[in-house]
Each structure stands twice: as structure tokens, then as C-alpha cells.
Structure 1
């Protein structure tokens, strides 16, 4: 039986070359724009996009601010295309919870429409804590199912893209608080949520 990571890798490698014209891109673009409404970026911030896909969000950020952009993704073809889209940035094929990036490197870590794919969110929270500088900012933009989350989670094993679980904002916050983060804000719109955390 395939692991969640294997399912995700296969699915996103399969759609990587046409991702910008896919249904997945149409959905995730809404999350990207929602996140960009009030994300805090300072000049020359080191920004890590976890599950960066083909680098679209980092490109959007660099069009607005001067950043040092980094991205990791489990799908090799996504990383190949991200390097083409953002040749001045650094990309690595990596799972969310075990990159080779140096500790305390980043001012900002972003996860956009991918947190529900992570097989071990506690391991990711620990990795995010390792990678962020003190007072670093973390943004989790993901699906928001206040009423139907339990039903949605029951259906996930039948989805081919490696989805693991949809989380409430309280679940996301509690997970990161266990690893030295504090709540920095929350917003929602329709089926979208952004949980903002800060590393102490």
C-alpha cells in the first residue's frame, strides 16, 4: 500500500508540467491571493515556501517584495519547474519535515494549501521551529471545514493526491504551540483559513 508521501509525489509529478492550467492551480491560486492580502514581509527576508509546487507563490512574493526565496517540495518535476520560474531562488526536493536547510535560517515560512497533505504535522512543526529564526513568522493557509470536517476526513482515503487530514484552526495552533510558537492571528473566508504563528 502506498504511503501518503508516495501518493502525493506521484500525483504532483504527473500534473507538474501542466500545473498552471490545472484545476489544482485554480484552487490554490485563491489561497495564494488570500494569503497575500496581509502577509508581513520585510526587505531581504529569507522566505521558505514548504510544498512550493512550481514556485508560483514565491514568484508572486518576489514581484512585490525583495526577498531571498527558498522552496521545498516532494515532487521532483515541481522543483524542476520552480527552478525555471525562479532561477535566482534556491529549491530542494524534500519532504516537509526533513530538509537539509540550515537551522535558524528563515524569517518567514509559508505553507499554502498543502498542510492537509503532511503525514506527520508534529514532525513538521518541529522542523519549522528548527528552521525559523527567533520571532520568525509562520503562515498556514489551508482548507476550512467548520461543519463538514469529520465527513471530509472520512472521504480522504479515497482521494488519489495523498491528502491526510483537514484541521481546525485550534488543532493547527495547538500543534505549533507545543513546539515554541505563539498565536499571531487568524482569518477565514469561505472554505479558506490562514493561521498565523510566531516563533518565541
Structure 2
């Protein structure tokens, strides 16, 4: 692989952009100043090119086996990719539960809430647009659930009624997962009405 200006050339592939080649394997846990996600992406792309015989690597040697014959190579790539992804930093904030020593990520709690509230929201002719879990000192300080009203049919209940039911369900879900009810649950509705022409 040769570096020329602002692009990379390999055996049969030219990719525009800047290429950072340290000559070392990427490791997201090193104290490197480079973005771990960009490094992981570059490493995966390089490994894929090598296995697809588009690049022979630093020494220019292209393996004799074709992509379709490289089942063990493909399995090695899958294992290596899974290892690299597992090593990427997580940006989840820990939340203490009622059980000492057990924490739950705010990302996991938000996903659980979105999943648990989806059916009830659909019954209220709404879709969950976002669930925001605010955390301070490993405690949930507030939940914000943003709903988008769907459909143009008349409603049997008000947004306030449906919001109260969703708020009650959200409190129960949080209590089931962390054993502590959040102090504030805010439900916001967005209702978009398009004129018919």
C-alpha cells in the first residue's frame, strides 16, 4: 500500500481521504490521542481488504486462497472484529440500583423504557421518538419521553390522559429495573398535522 497525497492506492482499490498507518494493530484501550471509533473502522476496512485480496498488506504479499475459500480467515475476521468492538469505549452512565454493587447503564434503561412503552404508546396513537434518562451521581434525576402523535383520526382520550398512563408505566418499568422510582417523568407530545390538498 502506498500513500500519495490525500488518497490511498492498493492493488485494485483507490480510496479518497486521509489514511493513518501506524504500522501497529489498533487497540481502543491504548491512551492514543486518536479517535477509537475511527481507528476501529480503519482496522476493519484494512482487514476486509486483505481478506478480499485487494491488498497484500505492508509486504505486498497477496495470499493464494480466494475470498470464498478463506472460511477460517473469515472466522478469524469475525472473531477479531467482535473483539475490537467489545474493546470500544462505552459512553453509558452507570445508575445505582437498590441492590448494592449492581449498576445499570442509562443507555440500557432508556432502551428498556422505549421497548416497554412502545405498545402502550401505539394504543394512544403515538410513537416514541426519544427517551432521555438524566443521571447525576449514579442516580436517575429525571426521565423525558418524547412522543409523536400518529394518525389523523379523532382521539377518544386526551394527550393528558394518555401521558398519565405512559408516565405511570414508565415509573413501574424503572422501579422494576433499578428498584427506585425516578423523581420526575416528563412526557412531551409532538402532533404534526399536514394540510390536505
Say whether the fold is shared (TM-score over 0.5).
no
Whose RCO is larger (CA < 8 A, sep 6+)?
1
The structure where helix makes up a greater share of residues is 1
Structure 2 length-normalised TM: 0.22
